[in-house]
């Protein structure tokens, strides 16, 4: 009614973007998960869902603005067979890059 509907993760048939990591490597983003404005546990659930829908070796980008989500996502990755590539803070959000193993 007021535009507060649930956000869906961005899906496409190909990469949704590319990012240069701090180590100098460039990775293609297979899926972007926008959790701006969401609080726990939604970012964790959306991250888990996104990892379940990408192939091994693909990278997802998770956007969050909730500090507790930034702390909660990395510890759960081992159980999801995924690796944290990088987490970076911008002025208004964190960008978390995760590769599915």
91 backbone dihedrals φ, ψ, rounded to 5°: -60, -40
- Cα angle 27, 32, 34; round to 5: 140
The tokens for 13 are: 């048939």
Residues 40, 63, 80, 84: which is the catalytic one?
40
Could you confirm whether 40 is annotated as catalytic? yes
Maximum separation of any 2 CA atoms in the chain, in Å: 45
Q: Which residues are catalytic?
A: 40
């Amino acid at each position: 009614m007021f535009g507060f509907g649930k956000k869906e993760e961005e899906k496409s048939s190909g990469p949704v973007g590319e990012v240069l990591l701090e180590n100098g490597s460039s990775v293609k983003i297979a899926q972007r998960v926008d959790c701006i404005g969401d609080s726990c546990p939604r970012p964790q659930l959306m991250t888990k869902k996104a990892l379940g829908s990408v192939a091994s070796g693909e990278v997802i980008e998770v956007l969050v603005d909730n500090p507790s989500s930034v702390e909660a996502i990395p510890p759960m990755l081992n159980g999801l067979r995924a690796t944290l590539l990088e987490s970076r803070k911008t002025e208004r959000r964190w960008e978390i890059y995760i590769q599915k193993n």
